[in-house]
Structure 1
Amino acid sequence: MKVIGLTGGIGSGKTTVAGFFKELGIPVYIADEAGKTLLETNEAVRSSVIKLLGPGAYTGNIPNRKYIASRVFSSPEDLEKLNNIIHPAVAAHFEKWKQEQDAPYVIYEAAILFETGGHKKCDAVILVTATMEERLARLQKRDSSTVEEIEARMKHQWSDPKKLELANFEIKNNDLASTRAQVRNLHEILLKPSKNWGLLC
């Protein structure tokens, strides 16, 4: 079964694009959601996070997400260590999930797919892009973040031009009708043998 990576910068609209693939009957695995679930339910992950960040990382079995975020976004070293705890657990969970699917391909959606080398396990990668103005507007509406807070989070992700060098396909997500049409077109391409995909669409 083909694995198609789906990624994009914060606020680009990956979730929207993933939803359009779901409408077409394609199974979608949201790595970030899986990571959050494993933080709560996987004892080995919980133990490793507490060892890394201290007991303040949890209240009982519930992750203290604000505390964790404050620690890792101010320390690139701790962020890398946290990723090294969560990403292998997510990868193992995904492999089990994939075996349960029955589809021509599945979507693996991850915010930092390129940054972690996850794209190397995909047959192709879709990059979702949007204008900076649109991304900022979406994020401010979604969680009331300030421009400074958003820009600080963006610094932990690669730029779109850098990602485009490795992506196989690009979806420009500035207008929902256009985005849905792009997904439909790309779906038809992905149903074909990979040799007919081309380099960048």
Structure 2
Amino acid sequence: MIKVGITGGIGSGKSVVAQLLSIYGIPVYIADIESKLLTDTSPVIRKELITLLGPEAYIPCGLNRTFLASCIFNNTKLLQKVNAIIHPVVSEHYLMWTKKQSSLITAIESAILFESGFEALVDIRLMVYAPKEIRIQRAMQRENTSQKEIIQRIENQMDDEIKKERSDYVIYNDMQSPLIPQIENFLDMLYSKFV
């Protein structure tokens, strides 16, 4: 089985590419959704976050996201400790998920593929790239938030040029290059090289 890691910055269109791959029959693990579920349900994560942050870390329905956000805001050391608790559990969950798939190719979509260490779990790193101006407009429309807030979030993510260098394949989602032919070329390359 070939494992593909899909990444890209906010507003790049990585979720669109993930949806298109799933239409082509590629099962896709959405790391953001799964990690939110796991932080609510995993006894391992719950125990370690309560040890780190105190009992306020959880409310009856799951993780107290407002409290967590206030703790890690502008505290990179604490954020790293939180990630060191969550990411290994997500990694293990993803690997168990792949074992249940019968497809020749599977994928994981993660905005933090490189930062989380998920890149070590995949065979091919696929980046979805879009110019910064387009990313800002898309994110502002989708999240109904200010340009300043989106720019701040972009600046807190790994630089796109670094992601590009560390990726094996790049799909351009720049409003000029059609996505379908690029995805078909990517899949052709995978099937010819690896399958």
Q: TM-score scaled to structure 1, two decimals?
A: 0.89
Does the residue aligned with 2:150 lie in a helix, a strand or coil?
helix
Q: Give the drift of 1:111.
A: 0.8
Aligned length: 195
Question: Is 1:128 aligned to residue 128 of structure 2?
Answer: yes
Question: Is 1:57 aligned to residue 57 of structure 2?
Answer: yes
The answer (yes or no) to whether the contact 1:2–1:123 under 8 Å persists in 2 is yes
Q: For residue 78 of structure 1, what is the amino acid of its counterpart? A: L
Q: Give the drift of 1:161.
A: 0.9
Q: Which residue of 1 aligns with 2:21?
A: 21
The answer (yes or no) to whether the contact 1:136–1:147 under 8 Å persists in 2 is yes
Q: Distance in 1 between matches of 2:57 and 2:11?
A: 26
Alignment of 1:1-201 (within 5 A): 1-175=1-175, 178-194=178-194
Q: Distance in 1 between matches of 2:149 and 2:130?
A: 19
Q: Cα gap change, 1:152/1:54 in structure 2, threshold over 3 Å: closer, same or farther?
A: farther
Q: Give the drift of 1:177.
A: 7.4
Q: Which moved more, 1:145-154 or 1:134-143?
A: 145-154
Does the residue aligned with 1:175 lie in a helix, a strand or coil?
coil
Q: Give the drift of 1:148.
A: 2.4
Q: Structure 2 stretches of 5 or more lacking a match?
A: none
Q: Distance in 2 between matches of 1:141 and 1:15?
A: 15
Q: Deviations over 1:152-190 (max 9, x none)?
A: 222332111111111110011123971122112111111
Q: Distance in 2 between matches of 1:119 and 1:6?
A: 9
Q: For residue 106 of structure 1, what is the amino acid of its counterpart? A: T
Q: Distance in 2 between matches of 1:34 and 1:187?
A: 25
The answer (yes or no) to whether the contact 2:41–2:62 under 8 Å persists in 1 is no
Q: Which moved more, 1:58-67 or 1:36-45?
A: 58-67
Q: For residue 54 of structure 1, what is the amino acid of its counterpart? A: G
Does the residue aligned with 1:193 lie in a helix, a strand or coil?
helix
The answer (yes or no) to whether the contact 2:127–2:169 under 8 Å persists in 1 is yes
The answer (yes or no) to whether the contact 1:115–1:157 under 8 Å persists in 2 is no
Q: For residue 155 of structure 2, what is the amino acid of its counterpart? A: K
Q: Cα gap change, 1:177/1:165 in structure 2, threshold over 3 Å: closer, same or farther?
A: closer
Q: Distance in 2 between matches of 1:188 and 1:50?
A: 47
Q: Distance in 1 between matches of 2:180 and 2:70?
A: 36
Q: TM-score scaled to structure 2, two decimals?
A: 0.92
- Point out 4+ residue stretches in structure 1 off by more than 6 angstroms: none
Q: Cα gap change, 1:148/1:24 in structure 2, threshold over 3 Å: closer, same or farther?
A: same
Q: Distance in 1 between matches of 2:94 and 2:105?
A: 14
Q: For residue 61 of structure 1, what is the amino acid of its counterpart? A: C
Query: How much identity, in percent, do the aligned residues show?
Result: 37
